[in-house]
Structure 1
Amino acid sequence: MTDQDVTVRRARAEDIPGLVASSARLFAEDGGTRDATINVHWPHEHGAASFAAALEDPERLVLVVDHQGRVVGHLTGSVTEATARRLVKSATLVSMYVRPEHRRARAGAALVTEFLDWARAQGAEEAEVTAYAANTDAIRFYERGGFAPQLVTLRQALGGDKKKGQGD
């Protein structure tokens, strides 16, 4: 693939089925393999309504990677106004996926560039993205794009399998 093989553009209503399919691939490939608490069926159950709402919301961004009229990737983002707790307007890269066969076309980098340009135009002073700690490829990708670690989320399962006294 070359850069000319794919186009990054704003999503339209007719892209929703492709967005749902792209999101389902993301859930299956990333969250579904790294987090047992993720509902991998969410994109098929709720994705169409979620994408339709996002397309209508001026504080949300929905981009697609188009290859010959077919959605082969996506990015969603949002902006949050400054608050008394967080003093700057910020942009969050919520979700991003590019089919593996299109990743060498630099579609991911083009998506992030469009997201950052949009965030600046919205008046955001910072941008953030989360990635699973085990997804070292995603972390390296975002670091190459200028993102740097700021927070670490630590999680403990509270399921009934752990016996009292274990792990003390």
Structure 2
Amino acid sequence: MQVQSLQIRAATENDLEAIVSLFADDPLGGHGDTTDPEALPDYRAAFARIAASANETLYVAELDGEVVGTFQTLITTTLTGRGASNMIVEAVQTRADVRGRGVGAAMIAHAIDKARKGDMRLVQLTSNAVRRDAHRFYERLGFAPSHIGFKLKLK
């Protein structure tokens, strides 16, 4: 596959099964994602909420007509930073067989470009603490570890 032919675009509902497959194939994620058809209504409902949001966008990276990566962006505005808007990048996932070929870097570059064009103050993301390779990847792209994240699971 040639990364030169990589297309990054907003996801459509037709991409949903391919996106879910990327997450279900992730042994480190621990999110309980599954390609079981009984779970598809949950994913469709989530897709509808994302699509209806003015501040969220779900993207896919496509090579030769196949979805090989995905990520989501969220724009938040806070009073800190004099009311600045920030972009949060979430759910970055690249298909295992194309890792190391520039797909992930292209997806992050796309997000950063959108943030710059939107006059965002910063782009931030979190990464699971066990994903050492991902941490090196993000640092190589210019991200710096700066905060400690906390989660409280409700479900």
Q: TM-score under structure 1 normalisation?
A: 0.75
Instruction: Please report how far the alpha carbon of residue 154 of structure 1 lies from its aligned counterpart in structure 2 after TM superposition.
Output: 6.5
1:64 aligns to what SS in structure 2? Answer: strand
8 Å CA contact retained: 1:80, 1:91: yes
How far off its partner does 1:131 sit? 0.9
Q: Deviations over 1:118-145 (max 9, x none)?
A: 1223332111111122211010111111
Q: 1:142 to 1:65 in 2, by over 3 A?
A: same
- The 8 Å contact of residues 63 and 75 in structure 1, kept in 2 or not, is answered as yes
Residue among 53, 62, 82 paired with 1:57: 53
User: Is 1:111 matched up with 2:97?
Assistant: no
What are the superposed Cα offsets for residues 4-41 of structure 1, whole Å, 9 maximum, x if unpaired?
3532222123212222222323xx32222xxxxx4445
Instruction: Name the amino acid aligned to 1:31.
Output: G
Change beyond 3 A, Cα 1:42–1:50: farther
Q: Which residue of 1 aligns with 2:147?
A: 151
Quick one: which amino acid aligns to residue 6 of structure 2? V
Partner residue of 2:21? 21
1:8 matched to which residue of 2? 8
CA contact (8 A) 2:23 2:33 kept: no
Is 1:31 matched up with 2:41? no
What displacement does 1:72 show? 1.8
Q: Any unmatched runs of 5+ in structure 1?
A: 33-37, 156-168
Please name the residue that 1:131 is paired with. 127
1:92 counterpart = 2:91 = no
Q: Which runs of 5+ in 2 are unaligned?
A: none
RMSD of Structure 2 on Structure 1 (CA): 2.7
Aligned 1:73-88 pairs, distance under 5 A: 73-83=69-79, 87-88=83-84
Q: Displacement, 1:75?
A: 0.7
Partners of 1:92 and 1:17 lie apart in 2 by 24
Q: Whose radius of gyration is greater, 1 or 2? A: 1
With over 3 angstroms needed to count, the CA separation of the structure-2 counterparts of 1:154 and 1:55, relative to structure 1, is closer
| Distance in 2 (alpha carbons) for counterparts of 1:109 and 1:142 | 9
Give the aligned partner of residue 44 of structure 2: 48
Percent identical across equivalent pairs? 27
